[in-house]
């Protein structure tokens, strides 16, 4: 019941955004709100998630590599499926199709779901996987998009791409400095800690409000079957591959296994839409993928939890 209530709360926030854009915000741009989420709220959330934990509880390399391999294979399946089944050829569109098929709603659904089911014993695994997902899935998307848009070749060009996709990425920098602070056991003044604690919770409601405000159901008529494919990839193929790779690799830690499968089984996260808005690539279709996968997850997540638990 708690899982269904969480999903319904998500839809309420999306609905507020949809209503707001068509009433009091009619004609206004979403860019400032999206900028706030990307440059301020998300970094605060990620930094807060990592700097309070010890490095030993965060890094289990074999488990993290297994999760990353499953995500990479799922992204490949999502992209190849769009090429073969729907004749998609645009490289940037395929990059975002791969992101939509692999990036989970970690913050809003992942944390309450995994913590509620597994408790504190799985907290380190959950945070580690969430950080890895944000860093490699979002950072990897940025790197691929920037690589495609940059002209020229050579080492200098590679450094320019790296600079734009990672070294100026608030998501990467927040994660890096969170790990650094954790490793050095640094203490912050209370005023900074309190400010971060107030800023971080704004991520989810504002991102979901922007998502709802950007919904255009006309896009569903144009790419309906393709969006259904991405939902199937996200909700079923991604967690199934994650489970299979963990089993084949002999990784048997119960908390890491369940945390990885449950996080992979979540619907597409709203941050994928934030990225689509930022790069102006299929943002309407991305918003619909988030909504459709979230709606379908009421059933699919319940099935995964019932099977694995």
Return the pLDDT at 273. 86
Longest Cα pair distance anywhere in the chain, in angstroms? 55
Return the pLDDT at 156. 65
Return the domain boundaries, the chain: 2-308
pTM of this prediction?
0.78
**What's the half-sphere exposure (Cβ side, CA atoms, 13 Å) at 240?**
10
Return the pLDDT at 242. 97
Would you give the distance in Å from CA 124 to the centre of its chain? 18
Return the pLDDT at 162. 65
CA distance 32 to 57: 36
Return the pLDDT at 187. 83
Return the pLDDT at 103. 94
**Sign, CA torsion 180/182/185/189:** positive
Return the pLDDT at 152. 54
- Average pLDDT for runs of 10 along the chain of length 309: 64 86 82 85 82 73 94 96 91 94 83 73 82 84 83 61 68 82 84 90 83 70 82 97 96 92 92 87 87 86 85
Q: What distance, in Å, lies between the first and last C-alpha atoms of the chain? A: 15
> Does CATH place domain 2-308 in 1.20.1530.20?
yes
């Amino acid at each position: 019941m708690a899982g269904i209530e969480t999903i319904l709360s998500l839809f309420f926030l999306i609905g507020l955004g949809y209503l707001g854009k068509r009433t009091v915000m009619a004609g206004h741009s979403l860019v400032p709100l999206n900028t706030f989420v990307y440059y301020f709220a998300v970094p605060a959330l990620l930094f807060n998630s990592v700097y309070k934990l010890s490095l030993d509880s965060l890094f289990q390399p074999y488990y993290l590599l297994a999760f990353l391999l499953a995500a990479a294979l799922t992204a490949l399946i999502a992209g190849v499926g769009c090429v073969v089944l729907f004749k998609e050829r645009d490289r940037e569109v395929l990059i975002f199709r791969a992101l939509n098929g692999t990036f989970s709603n970690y913050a809003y659904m992942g944390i309450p779901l995994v913590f509620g089911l597994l408790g504190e014993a799985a907290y380190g695994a959950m945070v580690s996987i969430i950080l890895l997902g944000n860093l490699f899935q979002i950072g990897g998307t940025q790197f691929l998009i920037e690589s495609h848009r940059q002209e020229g070749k050579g080492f200098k060009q590679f450094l320019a791409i790296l600079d734009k996709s990672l070294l100026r990425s608030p998501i990467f920098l927040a994660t890096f400095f969170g790990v650094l602070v954790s490793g050095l056991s640094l203490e912050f003044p209370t005023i900074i800690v309190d400010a971060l604690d107030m800023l971080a919770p704004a991520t989810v409601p504002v991102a979901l409000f922007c998502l709802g405000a950007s919904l255009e159901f006309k896009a569903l008529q144009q790419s309906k079957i393709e969006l259904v494919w991405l939902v199937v990839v996200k909700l079923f193929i991604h967690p199934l591959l994650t489970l299979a790779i963990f089993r084949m690799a002999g990784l048997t830690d119960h908390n890491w296994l369940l945390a990885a499968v449950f996080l992979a089984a979540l619907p597409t996260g709203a941050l994928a839409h934030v990225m689509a808005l930022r790069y102006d690539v299929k943002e309407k279709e991305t918003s619909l993928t988030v909504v459709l996968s979230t709606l379908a997850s009421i059933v699919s997540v319940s099935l995964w939890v019932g099977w694995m638990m």
